[in-house]
Structure 1
Amino acid sequence: MDKRLLHKFVSDQCTSKEIDEFFASLDKPHKVDLKNKSLFENYWNDIDITENPNTEAAQRRLDRIHHSINLNQSNPKRDTKTLFLISKKLKVSPFLSRVAVFLLMPILTLLIYTHFIQPEIYSLLSMSSKYEIEAPAGSRTHFVLPDGTQVWLNQGSKLVYPKWFTGGVREVGLIGEGYFDVAPDKKKPFIVESNGMAIKAVGTSFNVKAYADDDVFETTLESGKVIVLKNANDKNSEVCDMQPGENFSFNKLNNKYSITKVNTSKYVSWKDGKLVFKDDGLGVVAERLSRWFNVKVTIADPDLNSLSYTATFIDESLDQVLEMMKIVTPISYTVSGRHKLSDGTFSEKEILIYKKGGKVE
């Protein structure tokens, strides 16, 4: 944008084509170059304060605005509403375009002030609208984010993301397990924050597993490259880089991590409806069966933890999976049905696994 176009817009002298050109230059305000930044700052500084002679009233209004902003900053989880929305690519007649220019002047001034003069306010406004998508127990969900990134959520998982990806990064919050096929944008990394840690990527396919009750944070890289961050609030707290085919595992109990070369299908095939085990101990199998079928699986005998399983299940029911496990290893199991609790809800179905021929306590 040049000074001539800005002056014509402010003076209400733009043609319809010039109006489109003006708003096209503001389409991605976070990418405005230094020339445009200087242009808007000069415009702001040149505004004659005498246009609003009632400075005391203006100051009171400004104080109320600052007070509202401080309240939001002190309570970042507060559910705020979108303050305004400018629809781009709106096709109207020249007359209506001029009317729109007149009506949008206060919004333009607010946009210039918040983005170029007080950018911290712009960031606050940008984050005011959040969406949440949750995959209920026993189901999986697939959807596409505003930037084109595809996301799969495993059962019992939730993703929180902004209505618009503004600023220099695309940040989302994950609880549970999710697979991400990230839309490429080298100038705007994609960051998944989960359980206190974060994964930073550009154009990449990877899986993150970090349920709230898990002691281990895991991510598996299928393609591209990611950076693991130990502190989700510190984008410089890099732990390591990952290459395709690697699995990163961080144990929060001993504060140690490991990177191993793996067959990624074991970690990502859940998004295609496949339950895959490859030399997994019975403890891992029990944990994954619990989430997959929304039941509680308990191992009665600690000695059974030495057993390992390699199998792929697609459409099998829980009973079929347990029967197959019973055939290949010396185990037995009992199933307890759901029962109604005092609060009116129902308990989980419980599966107790024990040694074949052993006694059930």
Structure 2
Amino acid sequence: MRRAGGLADVAGRRFDMLVVGAGFAGAVMAERFAADAGLNVLLIDRRPHVGGNAYDEYDAAGILVHRYGPHIFHTNSAEVFGYLSRFTGWRPYEHRVLADLGDRQVPIPINRTTLNLIYDAGLEDEAAAEAFLAARAEPVDPISTSEDVVVARVGRDLYERLFRGYTRKQWGHDPSELDRQVTARVPVRTDTDDRYFTDSYQAMPADGFTAMFGRMLSHDRITVLTGADFAQVRAAVDYDRLVYTGPIDEYFGHLHGALPYRSLRFHHETLDIDRLQAAAVVNYPDEAVPHTRITEYKWLTGQAAPRTSISYEYPSADGEPYYPVPRAENQARYKLYEGMADACPDVIFVGRLATYRYYNMDQVVAQALATYRRAMPR
């Protein structure tokens, strides 16, 4: 990787590829076009660093913190895990999350332990837990919203306790106004498995995400320019093809109106205690609590330190775009932009923001690898 000191370092130069955005999508595309296709790549990002939202760094207490909230790697794809393993070793890690109900904390996703803690139900096996849930479930037909998904599976009481308030804070909409995919992503279990994910591969990059990105981009044919404005760069350099990973509506000047994205604000603290929480992440479903969750990073890194670093997470309608908002009218507007993108054969749109889809990290990597294979020069 060649670091450009500023726009003047690349102005007037010619590149085979200009890649906009140095998160997972952009970094994978840059690495493949350089290392596999042998092309000269300029990778830019408007932030002052690579890694996108997965960026991590050591804070003043020496703890590796995720500046944009917790990023937990998990996948069922051997291809994705194998590809990323070229650039990092791994620390085995299985993620666990608790929901704070005021008087107690319970495992999320819902499992048999959750039910026993909330209801003192004394459920001893999966059949008993399934019967317990079935007795509370409310038939919904058709199931079209996020509220429908939860109420039809676990009933209205658990929906109100664990899902409704959290979802309203996270998305700025009631679950009854959101596509079913939002809550359909969260399983309901009748056993006592309290892991948040059950994927075949669950681990954290041994040296952190930023170090992994550094190795991914350490190729002589890749030049990286951070703190860069796309409009200024595209006017200053020559390039054959463009890879764009930013918001698709922004690329087209919001011609069909702005696509709604949900943003996040983080408040980081270091505390003079060894541990704060009983798990890496504690969710706060109560709407009266302004933050959605608290993350304690030592759980993720496995570090031993006398102090602990945490972050509070506050969803917002304004700020850096993080999540496309899954509503039918938003998808219809995206389709207008998708039609415009299809008419741009020399521009490759890839990633969460450019394709207006909520992807996990491994899904972004898989999408980028597949997109590269389709776009690879013959």
**Bin for the TM-score computed over the shorter chain:** under 0.3
| Larger RCO, structures 1/2 (Cα 8 Å, 6+ apart) | 2
- Which protein is richer in strand relative to its size? 1
Q: Which has the larger radius of gyration?
A: 1
TM-score by length of 1: 0.18
TM-score by length of 2: 0.18
